[in-house]
Structure 1
Amino acid sequence: MPSPCDSQYAPAGNVGAALMLIDSRLKTVYDGKAGTDPQQRQLIDSFTASLGPGEADELVDGACTLIYMFMQWLRMAYEDHDRDVIEYVVPGFVASMRMMPKSIPPEVIPTMAGLIIAAGTGLSPNLWRKQYGDWTGDEMNALEATALLLAEHINRLTDDRDFATRVITEALSSAEQD
């Protein structure tokens, strides 16, 4: 019997916009300007401020879809080496989140860890989270950081700074062709 949190029931959201934000953040991190580029910050703030309530929900769903897709890619990559994705992703993820106390309140870290565990086991992150109520404001930075950290993990594994973005872009392109 399928779970009500099964990914087949989840809305995909605006994956393109979520990917654009994550890719932009990755480039900022890789250029050594993380948190210090005021023009980049202003562009992202303007973009997110321009979103209406429905569009913001679409962006959150898109970020959750990215998290799901990243975790599915990581699951397959680790299984190819007879390793468990949860064992190899979650501890480093939690440690990274704990190093960002100004942006990520400690109380949201368990929720984000649960989100990636849900995604790693084939459940929809947004449906899994939805069962606990509405998203909080504190969770928004953490959600973005979650997608960013997973993308960066993939890029590190592949030794390719654009790999995670390219995988999603190719998946979206092939879905449009079908």
Structure 2
Amino acid sequence: MSSPCDPQYAPAGDVGTALMIIDSQLKAIYDGRTETDPEQRKLVEQFTASMGPEGAHDVLDGTCTLIFMFMKWLRMAYEDHNKDVIEYVVPNLVATMRMMPKSVRPETIPTMAGLLVAAGTGLSPSLWRQQYGDWTKDEMNPLEATAFLLAEHINRLTDDRDFATRLISKALSSSDQD
């Protein structure tokens, strides 16, 4: 039986821009910059503001698509070792988000955990979230943090700082060829 949250019904959004934002954050962390560069953050904010509401919504959908694709890859990787992705990934990411009170407000963590569970069970995170109303401003940083933490988790598992970015880039380029 098909679910209304099935990924086939979800807009992919602007995955390229969402990936660029996550990749730049990963590179900053790997370069030893623990604080977000205010100039870089300002450029990202200017860029997203220049897109208008429709463009920003596309990036939001793109970030949800990243979360879905990262969780799909993680689900397959954990299943190869007879492990459950939800059991191994969700508690780890929730604990990490709880240590990030400046970026992730405590009241947004259940929503981010729900997005991870939805994606981990093969549902579209954006369609799952949509059933509870519009996104709030307070959920934007946690959403970005969730995608970032998943990418970083994949990079640590593979011992390759660029693996998550390459994974999505390859999927995007192969979808362009189809």
Residue 56 in 1 paired to residue 62 in 2?
A: no
Residue 37 in 1 paired to residue 26 in 2?
A: no
Within-5 A mapping of 1:64-83: 64-83=64-83
Runs of 5+ in structure 2 lacking a partner?
none
Aligned partner letter, 1:102: K
Partner of 1:97: 97
Aligned partner letter, 2:25: R
Alpha-carbon distance between aligned partners in 2 of 1:104 and 1:48, rounded to the nearest angstrom: 20
> What's the CA shift for 1:36?
4.2
| CA deviation map 1:18-45 (0-9, x unaligned) | 0000001111111121324232222212
> What's the CA shift for 1:49?
2.0
Partner of 2:10: 10
Alpha-carbon distance between aligned partners in 1 of 2:85 and 2:40, rounded to the nearest angstrom: 33
CA contact (8 A) 2:94 2:113 kept: yes
> What's the CA shift for 1:70?
0.1
CA contact (8 A) 2:6 2:124 kept: yes
Partner of 1:106: 106
Runs of 5+ in structure 1 lacking a partner?
none
TM-score by length of 2: 0.98
Alpha-carbon distance between aligned partners in 2 of 1:59 and 1:36, rounded to the nearest angstrom: 20
**Cα RMSD (Å):** 0.8
Partner of 2:160: 160
CA contact (8 A) 2:48 2:55 kept: no
Alpha-carbon distance between aligned partners in 2 of 1:34 and 1:103, rounded to the nearest angstrom: 13
